[in-house]
Structures are given as structure tokens and as C-alpha cells.
Structure 1
Amino acid sequence: MTATPDLVTHRTASPELLRSVFRRHAAGVAVITAQSGTGPVGFTATSLTSVSAEPPMISFGVGTGASSWPAISTTDHVGVHILGEHQQELAATFARSGADRFGPPTVWREGPEGVPLLDGVLAWLVCRVVARVPAGDHRVVLAEVTLGDPSGLGRPLVHHQGRFTGLRD
């Protein structure tokens, strides 16, 4: 016998309904970075997805009201960083509005194509942006992987129930 959803408690589609449902969806945590005319920009993303193996492509969502959007809307390349469970504070810094994301204690360097690369991550990619697809108040960015490094050590950071956490065994 299969369980059926309780139709008495269902709610009409709304931003709050979507947030409530996705709080229950555990997602990996990444930081997306780019170079702007005034310096590096970046934000925490839980929307990172592998799109294609051939050619290797990824996607992520970014709000058009986000402080990083002006740079992401015009840049040719982005950095994608997979965070480890030891990087909860880094994830929080890049998620916080108005934070000095690239100031101490963040450790980073300029990478290929001028992309800011964060140190100590589990893995990173440099990607060439190929499309920005309108999606409500966001854009879905499609980007082709040009190079990367998967050799970082540690366990992944995840986002669940509105907080950053590690995986449990």
C-alpha cells in the first residue's frame, strides 16, 4: 500500500511554500566567484548541478537582485568551489549580505581567466559561461568546464533545514 499526501493540509504555490519544501531538501554547498571591474565577487549556492558530461557543463541559479549578479551577468568565466564541512563559516560569509567576502579570514588567489579561486576547498572548477536563462527573479547560468582540481581533502558541506552541516554516517 502506498501513502497518499494529505490533501487537507496542502498549500497553494507561493515563495514560502517553495522555501518550506526545499528546507527539507539536503543540497551540497558551493561558492561561485567571478571578477568584476571593482574586484572579486562571489556568493554561496546550493543550486549547483551537473548538466552534461560531453561537453562538461554545470548550472547554477543566481538572483537578479543579488550583489554578485551585475558581475555574473557580464563575465565570461566563473569559479565554482565545492565546500567541505570544515568551511561552514566561509559558506555563511559568502551567503551574508554586505559581508567583506574576500577579506580575512578568506584565503584566495587569482586563478586562470582572472577567476578568484578559494583555498582549502574540496574541489574547484573554472567555467566559461555559455548562457544565462531567465527564470523568474533568477537566472540559470549554464557554463562549460574548462579546468579544475578535485584533489581537496575532507567531507562535503551540505545545507539542510536552513543551516550548514556535515553528513552523518
Structure 2
Amino acid sequence: MSLEFAVPVQSTGARPPVQPGSPELLRSVFRRHAAGVAVITAQGERPVGFTATSLTSAAAEPPLVSFVVGTGSSSWPVIERAEHIGVHILGEHQRELAGRFARSGADRFAPPTAWHEGPYGVPVLDGVLAWLSCRILARVPAGDHRLIVAEAVAGDAAGEGSPLLYHGGAFNGLREV
């Protein structure tokens, strides 16, 4: 069985048409979707982490979150074996931190990144709007990614500021209307 997206082949001249059912179609659609920015961390031989825009609240009872991680990510081998992970909600003042955790090859936990060991040995980033320590319940294959489902077991939502958003391929803050 083959699946194909129904996409009108209509060009405004601004962008070339995108191949139906392609990864580029998905990326171009989700560039139009504003998403909150989070950093996921875990502790292996050394701490690892990555920027995620796929974080979602999955259930209230029990308190579950979900996100995806690429199996080609440098963080995946640690996440694959970890029992607990950290989830950090970034503020708009943390664009540089989001960029650091999104870059390949960066030493994400070196200065100026401020962090400490939190509950269950999870690396907790300082100065975030909110954070959770979560126990991983499932790693579900999803193409070249894994969907992680985790239960919140500790955390703090006392940070101040406005959330950082990802939209149109860039980190943004909220605008007053």
C-alpha cells in the first residue's frame, strides 16, 4: 500500500513546488508550525543533550511526556540505554543555549552552559523556565527516529520569562499584539 499526500501543484513564484510525500514537504509544512523549544539531557559516561521541538505532554495521569530523537544523533546511544532523562523548557533569553544544543560536534556542557546534577543523576540546565526528570517507559521505532515516552518523576516550574519558540527555521520569542 502506498501513501501519497494530496498537494495542489500551485506556485506563487515565491517557492518551487515540493514533491508530494517527500521529507521536504514535511519540513516545509512544519516550518509553518510554531513549536516550543526544549533541551533533552541524559547522563552516560558524559552528559549528552539535544534541542527538541517535538516535546509534548502525552498524559496527565500518569504524567507523561513524549518527544522524538534521531537514531543518528550523537545523543541517541546514551538515550537508548538511559533510565532517566531531563526535559528543559527554554526561555526566549536562551536562544544561544538552544543553538549550542542543536549544533553537531559542540561540547554542549562546557562553559558557558551552566548545569548541575539533578534527581536520578540527570543533567539539569540552570536558568530554564521549567525542567523535569523523567523515567523512560518506551522507545518506539518511528522511521529514522525513536518516539520516547517518559513519566515525569521530579521537576521545577519556577523559572521566569517567556518561552522560546521555533518557527520558520529560527528561534523566536512571543510578540505582543
Percent identity between the aligned chains?
70
Residue correspondence of structure 1 range 106-121 to structure 2 within 5 A: 106-121=113-128
- State the alpha-carbon separation in 2 of the partners of residues 123 and 113 from structure 1: 17
- Displacement, 1:6? 7.4
Distance 1:6 1:101, change over 3 A: closer
Distance 2:163 2:105 in 1: 26
Three-state SS of the structure 1 residue aligned to 2:81 is coil
Residue number in structure 1 paired with 2:129? 122
Over 3 Å off, 4+ runs: none
Structure 2 residue identity aligned to 1:159: Y
Give 1:156 shift: 0.1
- Tell me which residue corresponds to 2:8: 7
1:28 aligns with 2:36: yes
Matched residues, number: 164
SS, match of residue 54 in structure 2: coil
One-letter amino acid of the counterpart of residue 116, structure 1 = P
> Is residue 42–residue 78 contact of structure 2 (8 Å, CA) maintained in 1?
yes
Q: Give yes or no for contact 2:37–2:98 (8 Å, CA) kept in 1.
A: yes
Per-residue CA deviation, residues 4-54 of structure 1 (Å, 9 max, x unaligned), is: x97233741111111111111000000000001x21000000000000000
Distance 1:164 1:105 in 2: 19
In the other structure, the counterpart of 1:70 is: 77
TM-score normalised according to structure 1 size = 0.94
| Aligned partners of 2:7 and 2:20 also within 8 Å | no
Contact 2:36 2:163 in 1 (8 A): yes
Task: Give the structure with the larger strand fraction.
Answer: 1
Q: Does 1:92 align with 2:93?
A: no
Unaligned runs of 5+ in 1: none
Separation in 2, partners of 1:6, 1:77 = 41
CA RMSD of aligned residues (A): 1.2
Q: TM-score, normalised by structure 2?
A: 0.90
Q: Distance in 1 between matches of 2:7 and 2:58?
A: 34
Q: Which amino acid aligns with 1:75?
A: A
Deviations 1:51-88 (A, max 9, x none): 00000000000000000000000100000000000000
Residue equivalent to 1:144: 151
